[in-house]
Amino acid sequence: MSELSGRTFLVTGANTGIGKETVRDLAGRGARVVIAGRSEEKNRAAIREIADQTGNTDLDWIPLDLGDLASVRQAAATFLASGEPLHVLINNAGLAGKRGMTPSGFELAFGTNHVGTFLLTELLRDHIVASGPGRIVNVASTGHYRAKGIDWNAVRRPSVTRTAFDEYCVSKLANVLHARELGRRLEGTGVTTYSLHPGAIASDVWREVPPGLRHVMKLFMKDTTQGAQTSLYCATSPDVAGETGLYYDDRKVKQPSRVVTDELAAELWERSEAWVAEAARP
- Look at residue 1 and tell me if it is in a domain: no
**98 versus 181: which is more confidently predicted?**
181
Amino acid at site 241: A
| pLDDT tens column, 9-51 | 999 999 988 899 999 999 999 999 999 999 999 999 999 999 9
- Largest Cα–Cα distance in the chain? 52
**Number of other residues whose CB lies within 10 A of the CB of residue 80:** 14
Q: How far is CA 198 from CA 10, 51, 114, 195, in A?
A: 18, 24, 17, 10
| 3-class DSSP assignment, residue 22 | helix
CATH value at residue 170: 3.40.50.720
- Look at residue 26 and tell me if it is in a domain: yes
Residue 247: how many CA atoms within 13 Å on its side-chain side? 24
| pLDDT tens column, 127-184 | 999 998 999 999 999 999 999 999 999 999 999 999 899 999 999 999 999 999 999 9
Check residue 203 and give its pLDDT.
47
Percentage of residues in the chain with pLDDT exceeding 90?
82
| CA angle 68–73–77, rounded 5-degree value | 145
- Look at residue 259 and tell me if it is in a domain: yes
The chain-wide mean pLDDT, for the chain, equals: 91
Confidence at 212, pLDDT banded by 50, 70, 90: low
- Whether the pLDDT of residue 213 is over 70: the answer is no
Q: What pTM value is reported for the model? A: 0.91
The rounded Cα 199 to chain-centroid distance in angstroms is 15
Check residue 281 and give its pLDDT.
79
* Count: domains in the chain: 1
Average pLDDT over residues 237-242: 96
Q: How far is CA 259 from CA 11, 79, 173, 178, 213, in A?
A: 28, 35, 9, 13, 30
Which domain covers residue 150, as residue numbers? Answer: 8-280
- Look at residue 3 and tell me if it is in a domain: no
| 3-class DSSP assignment, residue 240 | helix
- Look at residue 147 and tell me if it is in a domain: yes
Catalytic residues: 168
Gyration radius (Cα) of the chain, Å: 17
The DSSP 8-state label assigned to residue 114 in this structure reads I
The answer to whether residues 158 and 109 touch, using CB atoms and an 8 Å cutoff, is no
Handedness of CA 23, 26, 29, 32 (dihedral sign): negative
